Structure 1
Amino acid sequence: MHVDVRVSGGIARGTTEAGLTVFRGIPYASLPVRLDTPRLVQPWSGVRDCTRFGPAPPQSGAFGMDAMGTLAHDDEWLTVNVWSDDVRGRSPVLVWIQGGAYAFGTSGLPEYDGATLARGGVVVVTFNYRVGLEGFGHVDGRPDNRGLLDQVAALQWVRGNIERFGGDPERVTVFGQSAGGGSVAALLAMPRAKGLFHQAIAQSVPGTFFTPALAADITAACAAELDIEPGELATTDPQLLPLAADAVSDAMADDVERYAQRWGRAAHAAVLFAPVVDGDVLPATPWEGLTGEVPLLVGHTRDEQRLLTAITGRAGTITPAEAARTAEVFAPDPARYHATFPDPEQLYEVVRSDWLFRMPSLHLAEAQLAAGGAAWLYELTWPAPGMGGTFGACHGLDVPLVFGNLTSGQPAMLIGNPTPEALAVSQQMRTAWTDFAVRGDPGWPAYGSGTAHLFDVLPSDGAYPEQLSRDIWRRRPDVLDLCP
C-alpha cells in the first residue's frame, strides 16, 4: 500500500512493509554549486516515488560500492530514508550516519535497513552524505567538511519534517559508527549543528582529524593523479575523483615512505580523508570542543584492528620489524607496549586499535565529563563466530548487532549463521540504543562513576578493561598535520 506525505520539496510516496511505513530516497538538500554548501531541496511537482534508495555519492568501488547505483545529477545524491511503525505517533528518532573511512559508503546498504530498530518504538532515519574528495577534500574557494555540512542539512530536514512520519523533533538521537562515529563526535563540536539533536551515540570513534594544510596537500596529490591543479577539481567529472584517490591510496600501500615524509601518521595508516579543523565549520577537535550539553553514549570493540589487518591481507604476516615500526610511529610509549605484547601480531593490532579507535573513543567520554556532561561508556567483547571465528570483537561487528540485521549485508559475514548467543548480544545492544533514545539511559551506570559496560553473552558492568592502554594514552588525540 502506498503512503503519501508532504515534505520539504513536495509530496513523497512511500510504502508499507510488514507493518512499517517506509520511505527511501527522499531528497533533503540540493547542490546547485559543485563542491559547495548544500542548499534547500529543489521542489518537485506531482508525487515523487520514494520507494527506492537514492544513488550513492561519487566514491571508490571498494567493498562493492560500485554496485550501489550509477551517479546521478548533483542534487540527487543527498537523500534520506525513514522507517516508522506509527506515522500518527510522536516517537523518539534515531538518525544514523554510516562509516566508510570518510571515503566510501551509502545509506542503501542492507546492513543499514532500519526495520528491526524501528519496531523497538523509534523512528529510524538514514541518509547519504558526500565522501572522499567530494565531501572532505580541501579545495580553495570551497568550504571544507562538505560531508559534515551535508549531515547538518540532513538533521535540519529531520527537524522540519520528521513529525509527518510520527517522529518527535524534540527527541532526536544521532548515532554512527567508524567514520560515522567520528562524524557524530564532530557534530558535537560544530556550532552549526547546535540544537539539531538532543543525544548522541558514537561507535568506534576514529581519532583522525586534519589541519587544512594536510588536507590541502593530500588533495593536491590526488589532483596530480588527474594531471590537473586542485582548483580544477570543481569542474572535473566527479566519477574521476575516486579513481585519483584510489591511485594515491595504492601508492601509499606500495611505498608509504613516499608520502610519510610529508603526511606522517596519516600516510602510515593510509588515511586520505578526515574532518578538517578549519576554524569555521569545525572550530576544534571534539576532544577540545565538547560543551557537554548533549548526553553521550560512546564505546568501541575490543579487537578493532583485526578486521582491518585481514582486509589488507596482512593477517599472520606481521614481522617484528613492522610491529616495532608501528609502535614507534603511533604509540606514546613504545617500550611499554613491547614489554606487554612480545608477539608482533598482537603488538601491531593493539597499538593500531588504540591509536585509531579505542583511545579516541575513551577520551571522548573523558572530554564529555570534563565539560560537565553525561557519558556512558561501553566495550563490545563478544567475539564474532563467523568466518572461522578468527576476527574476535573486531571493527564493524557492532553494526549488524545494533541494527539486528544478522543475515544481510557484508558485516553479517562476521556472524555467520546466527546463534542464540548472537541473537542475545544483538538484543542487548538494540535495547540499550533504543532505551537511550527513549529514556536517556542505556541501562548501566554513567561513566562518571568509573563504570563501563561490556557487551557479551553475559553482559557486565565494571571498570574500563583497557587500563594499560588508558595509562599509556594520557593525552587526547591531536590534529594530524604536515610533517615539519
Structure 2
Amino acid sequence: MSPSPESQPYESSSSASPPPESPEVRTTAGAVRGTREAGVAVFRGIPFAAPPVGAHRFAAPQPVRSWDGVRPAVAYGPPPPQAGVFGMDALSPQGADDDWLTVNVWSPEPAPDTALPVMVWFHGGAYVIGTSGIPEYHGARLAREGGVVVVTFNYRLGTEGFARIEGAPDNRGLLDQVAALRWVRDNIRAFGGDPDRVTLFGESAGAGSVAAVLAMPSAVGLFRRAIAQSVPGTFFSPELAADIAAACATELGLRPTVADLSTVTPAQLAAAGDAVSAKLGQWTDRWGRIAHRSIPFAPVVDGEVLPVTPWQALAEGAGRGIDLIVGHTREEQRLFTAIGGLLGQVTEDQAAEALRLFAPGPDGVDRYRAAFPSAGPESLYELVHSDWLFRMPSLHLAEAQVAGGGRAHVFELTWPAPGMGGALGACHGLDVPLVFGNLSGTEASALIGENPGPEAEALSAYIRAAWTAFAAHGDPGWPAYDPGRRLVRLLDAQPTTAPYPEDESRLLWQDHVFPALPLIST
C-alpha cells in the first residue's frame, strides 16, 4: 500500500512474526514495536509532535504524521540542540536527525486493561541542556518495582525552546511539554497506564517546568499529581527575555525574529546562546542576578502561555485539585561550588558579594549574618545561593499551594553523598539517581561512588516506594505540610518527619515574593 501524504511506511504488520520479547502497541498515529528489558516492556523514540524544523520551526508543536505498518521503537530519539555546557552540544551535531520531540515508555504490562499509575519525567538542565535518553533516566527499575508506567520525553531547549522571538509563541519548550502530556492522555492506556492517574515529576529545570505546567491553562486536566524536586526561582519577564534574545541574535548579525533566525541552523543558534553565556558578566547592569548565575534562559511569564508565576497561580488556587510533593536538597549549592573550583576556597569578599546580590530585602546582608552568626564565608556563600535559587522557591511553592486551598507534602534530602569523599553533602541532583534507582554505571557514580552501599540502596528503595505510592493514591507516607506545624520528611539513612529544619532561612525569606525577573533599566 503506497503511503498517503499524511503517513509514512514502516514494515507491514503482516511480515514475519517478531520475537515474543518485542511487544507491540497501537498509538493514535500508528503501531510501534518495542523490546523487553529488565522485566518490563520498553518503547523508545516515539514521536509525540512533528519535528520542529522547516515550516514548524519556532512554532507551537504540530501533530505527528501518522505511519503505516509497525514503527520500530527501540532507540531513543535524537536530543534537541544543546548548549555547549559539559560538552552536551556534541549529542546533537549539525545534520543529525531532527525528530527531537519523542517519548519513551517503560511498562510492566502494556495492555489496555491494566490501568497502572503513570509517572511522566521532566528532565533538568538549566533549560539549555538535557535529553530523555541518558542512563540516569532509564525507567525500568522504577516501573518494575513500583508497579507504574514511566514516561520520559524531550522538549526544545535554549533559544529554540525559550527565547522570546518576534512572530513565535513564547515558552515553546513548555508547549512541547503540554503536547507530551496530551500524547500521554491519548495513548497511555494502550501501554497499560491509567490516563486519570498521571503524576508529573521533575528536578531542577524539570521541576521549574512542572511548576510552570501547574500554572498553565492549557495543561488543565492532563494530570492529577505532581512532584517538584529543587524548583528554581528563575522565571523571566517578557522584557528581560526579549533583551536576552536580542543579544543572541546580535551574535549572528540578525534580529530576534522568526524571519531572521530561521535562516541559521539550530546548531548555529545554540552556539550564539553559548557566546552570550560566555560573556554574561557584561550584562549584569541589565540582567541582574541571572547574569551572575549564568542563567540565560527560563520560562517567560508572558501573560498567555504562562499567565502568572507558579507561586501566584497556586496561591490563587490553580493547584487546588492537584496533589503535590515539593522539596529540595540540604546543600543545593555545593555541587556548583565544586564545579566552579571553589570548594574550600570561598573568600570573605566572595561571600559578601553573594549576600549583596542574592539576600532578600535592603537589609538582607545584615539579617543573614545575624541569622547565621557562626557561619564562615563558604557557608554564607552556599546558604544564600542555595536559598535564592532552589530552597526557598521550593518551600514557597508548597506554601502557595496550601494558601490556595491545595495539599502539599514537603521533603528535604539530607543524606550526604558519599562520592568525592563526602565533600558534596546532600547536593543538587543527588535525588535523581535515588528516585530512579540507577545508582551505578552512570554519572550518579560521581555522587554516590562506584560501589553503592546498602545505605544508598535502602534510601533509594524508600524514595521510590514513596514516589510510586503517591502516584498511585496521593499519599507518600508522611503528613501534608501546614503553616502551623510545618512538618516535612527528612530523607536520610533513617527517614524521619520533623518541623522544617531550615527555619532561619525560612524566616529570612518569608516576606519575599518570587516575581518574574525584570529587565533592569539603565
Any unmatched runs of 5+ in structure 2? 1-20
Q: Residue 89 of structure 2 is aligned with which of 59, 66, 76?
A: 66
Equivalent of 2:452, from 418, 430, 436?
Answer: 418
CA distance in 2, matches of 1:75, 1:481: 34
- Give the SS at the match of 2:26: strand
After superposition, what is the alpha-carbon deviation per residue over 1:164-214, rounded to whole angstroms, capped at 9, x for unaligned?
100000000000000000000000000000000000000000000000110
CA apart distance, 1:73: 7.3
Cα distance, 1:477 vs structure 2: 1.1
SS at match of 1:141: coil
Give the alignment of 1:156-305 within 5 angstroms.
156-231=182-257, 232-252=260-280, 256=281, 258-290=282-314, 291=318, 292-305=320-333
Shift of 1:279: 0.2
Could you say which residue in structure 1 is the equivalent of 2:385? 352
| 1:460-480, Cα deviation, whole Å (9 max, x unpaired) | 101000000000001231211
After superposing the two structures, state which structure 1 stretch, 419-428 or 373-382, moved more. 419-428
SS of 1:235's equivalent?
A: coil
Letter of the structure 1 residue corresponding to residue 494 of structure 2: L
Q: Equivalent pairs: percent with the same residue?
A: 60
TM superposition shift of 1:342: 4.0
The answer to which of 139-148 and 226-235 deviates more is 226-235
Partner of 1:336, secondary structure, is: helix
After TM superposition, the structure 1 = structure 2 runs for residues 7-86 of structure 1, keeping only pairs within 5 Å, are 7-30=27-50, 31=52, 32-70=55-93, 76-86=99-109
Aligned counterpart for 1:470 among listed residues 488, 503, 506: 506
Match of residue 6 from structure 1: 26
Letter of the 1:456 partner, please give it.
D
Aligned length: 480
Q: Secondary structure at the match of 2:326?
A: strand
Aligned residues of 2:78 and 2:96 also touching (Cα < 8 A): no
Q: Deviations over 1:13-51 (max 9, x none)?
A: 111113210000000011342111001111123221110
Equivalent of 2:347, from 313, 319, 328?
A: 319
Listed one character per residue, the Cα deviations across residues 421-467 of structure 1 (whole Å, up to 9, x for unaligned) are: 11111111111100100121000011025210000001110100000
Matching residue's letter, 1:116: R
Distance 2:22 2:312 in 1: 47
Between the aligned partners of 1:47 and 1:152, the Cα distance in structure 2 is: 26
**8 Å contact from structure 1 (residues 83, 123) kept in 2:** yes
In 1, Cα distance between the equivalents of 2:87 and 2:29?
31
* Alignment correspondent of 1:455: 491
- When the two structures are superposed, what TM-score results if normalisation uses the length of structure 2? 0.90
Q: Give the structure-1-normalised TM-score.
A: 0.97
Cα distance in 1, alignment partners of residues 79 and 302 from structure 2: 27
Query: Cα offset for 1:67?
Result: 4.5
Q: Is the 8 A contact 1:319 1:344 kept in 2?
A: yes
Cα distance in structure 1, aligned partners of 2:207 and 2:22: 34
1:425-464 paired onto structure 2 within 5 Å: 425-448=459-482, 449-464=485-500
Calculate the aligned-residue CA RMSD, in Å.
Answer: 1.3
Contact 2:84/2:274 (8 A) holds in 1: no
Report the alpha carbon displacement of residue 384 of structure 1 after superposing the two structures with TM: 0.1
Deviations, residues 243-284 of structure 1 (Å, cap 9, x unaligned): 1111111112xxx2x211000111111110110000000000
**More displaced stretch, 416-425 vs 338-347:** 338-347
Deviations 1:273-319 (A, max 9, x none): 11000000000000001222211000000000000111122223222
Q: How far apart in 2 are the matches of 1:216 and 1:146?
A: 14
**Superimposed CA distance per residue, residues 387-410 of structure 1 (whole angstroms, 9 cap, x where no aligned partner):** 221000000000000000000321
Contact kept, 8 Å, 2:93 with 2:267, in 1: the verdict is no
Give how far 1:320 is off: 1.0
3-state DSSP of counterpart to 1:447:
coil
Partners of 2:95 and 2:306 lie apart in 1 by 29
1:375 and 2:408 are equivalent in the alignment: yes
